[in-house]
Amino acid sequence: MTAQQTSLFESESAPAIPEDAIEIVSAVSAFPERISAIEKHVEEFAAGVPESIEPGTEEEVLAANEALKTIKRLFDEAEDTRKELTRPLREKVESVNDSFRPLSERLKQLETAFKNGLIRYKQKEAARIAEEQRKAAELARIESEKKAAEAAKLAAKSEDKQTAAEALRAAAEQCENEREAKALLRKAERLDRDGATAALQAQTAEAVSVAIQAAPVVVASKAVKTSGSALKKSFEASIIDKEAFLRWAIETGNLHFVEINISMLTGIAKQTKGAQQWPGVLVSETAGLSTRYR
């Protein structure tokens, strides 16, 4: 605020009282005397009025009508006096209001200008903060999606399903997108289940290959009967590729060459409480009574 603006609210000396204000004060000082004169007339009239006004004759009706005329005259006199005494005051009030109206309007304009400026500033600040928050959220989303993609890529390359699942869970904790985080956690759960199944199958590698034990096949050649001594030859078969032999047995229908280890399958079913399943194998639950003696 400048010195000039400050001076608007300061006054070095009290302003002089205008002459018309002195006249108004003089007129106001005469109010009691004028009012007292009217009150005296009213009281003199009221002194002759009976307590109960109930006309019973024509003369009393005429007297009552005359009394009403007197009351009307006294009322008009009081009203005229009131207007006469208040007219200078009303005119002065209107004059003062008219004089201050341009000043008030100007001050209102300045007030509105400052308020509008403050409002525009607040709006700009709100927009700036909102934009910064939007950019920060966008950067966080991009970084989150990048980490999620890296975790998914690592999980796809990793042969260790447990390590891949842990990478996905770590990415889900840092993910800003709730939907993406849930998707990562679901993938981690699937990898956990697959890893548990793979670990169980690895423990029973010999049995998981359908617990196949190839029965040894011995093929003997026909020996030519001759007299005297002769060299006897025989042949023995051994399995060097179980999967190839299994495929041959299935494709050619020679399943009688394959013996399935039912005991091994039953042991795995008990160990996993029926969770492990195999194609073509029925895992059923049986109940029995167990008695313990002490």
Model confidence pLDDT, tens digit, residues 68-103: 998 898 899 889 888 887 888 888 888 888 988 998
Burial zone of 187 (CB within 10 Å; 0-12 exposed, 13-18 middle, 19+ buried): buried
**Residue spans of the chain under pLDDT 50:** 1, 4-15, 17, 204-205, 207-208, 210-211, 214-224
Residues whose CB falls within 8 Å of the CB of residue 89, separated by 6 or more in sequence, listed in order: 24, 28
| pLDDT at residue 220, rounded to an integer | 45
| pLDDT at residue 133, rounded to an integer | 94
| pLDDT at residue 200, rounded to an integer | 54
| pLDDT at residue 20, rounded to an integer | 59
Cα–Cα distance for residue pair 16/9, rounded to 1 Å: 18
| pLDDT at residue 156, rounded to an integer | 65
Taken in order 74, 76, 82, 88, the sign of the CA dihedral is negative
| pLDDT at residue 29, rounded to an integer | 65
| pLDDT at residue 9, rounded to an integer | 42
CB count within 10 Å of CB 180 equals 18
Question: Which string of b and e fits 222-242 if b means at least 16 CB within 10 Å?
Answer: eeeeeeeeeeeeeeeeeeeee
Domain regions of the chain by residue span:
206-219+235-274
